[in-house]
């Protein structure tokens, strides 16, 4: 009995993975929500050569949809502490920050002379 449940569960997983791959093949922006329903949204905008805010604020344990947008130039965003990496093609994800603290935000694409100064902070509280 337990075995058949496991098989059923892995089939569902397989279907989900297949569905995601189909999306990618279409070339559309993929929206990874990790199966979580977001209760908040955060938009991070990048331009040459800065993010639109020095600090972004998130609430601990609240699922948030993080969306990245290039206002000018070609950039990406990397938040190692929250395991988030977004760019123009893969521009949003849903995460649940489970630990309060400050998380470093950086540009993930070598975009030019001001690349090193593209830093910001996400504060989870
Ligand atoms: Cu950059």
pLDDT at 8: 55
Asked if 64 contacts 38 with a C-beta cutoff of 8 angstroms, the reply is: yes
Whole-number Å distance, alpha carbon 47 to ligand 1 midpoint, is 9
Q: What is the pTM of this model?
A: 0.74
* Residue 88 structure tokens: 């123009």
Q: Which phi and psi angles does 73 have, rounded to 5°?
A: 75, -165
pLDDT at 21: 40
Ramachandran region, residue 103 (left: φ > 0; alpha: ψ -120 to 50; beta: rest): beta
Whole-number Å distance, alpha carbon 39 to ligand 1 midpoint, is 29
d(C-alpha 49, C-alpha 114), whole Å: 5
Q: Which phi and psi angles does 59 have, rounded to 5°?
A: -100, 135
* Residue 10 structure tokens: 């892995």
Whole-number Å distance, alpha carbon 112 to ligand 1 midpoint, is 6
pLDDT at 6: 56
Mean pLDDT in the chain? 84
* Residue 111 structure tokens: 């975009």
Confidence band of 84 (pLDDT split at 50, 70, 90): very high
> What's CA 14's distance to the chain center, in Å?
23
Lowest mean pLDDT among 10-14, 81-85, 90-94, 103-107: 10-14
Closest CA to 65 of 88, 34, 29, 103: 34
Whole-number Å distance, alpha carbon 75 to ligand 1 midpoint, is 5
Whole-number Å distance, alpha carbon 68 to ligand 1 midpoint, is 14
d(C-alpha 49, C-alpha 72), whole Å: 9
Whole-number Å distance, alpha carbon 50 to ligand 1 midpoint, is 9
């Amino acid at each position: 009995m337990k075995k058949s449940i496991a098989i059923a569960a892995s089939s569902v997983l397989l279907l989900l993975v297949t569905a995601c791959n189909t999306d990618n093949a279409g070339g559309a922006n993929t929206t990874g929500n990790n199966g979580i329903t977001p209760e908040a949204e955060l938009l991070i905008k990048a331009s040459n050569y800065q993010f639109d805010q020095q600090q972004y604020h998130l609430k601990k344990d609240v699922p948030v949809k993080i969306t990245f947008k290039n206002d000018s130039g070609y950039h990406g965003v990397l938040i190692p502490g929250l395991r988030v990496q977004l760019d123009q093609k893969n521009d949003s994800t849903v995460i649940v920050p489970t630990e309060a603290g400050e998380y470093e935000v950086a540009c993930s694409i070598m975009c030019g002379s001001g690349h090193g100064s593209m830093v910001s902070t996400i504060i989870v509280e």
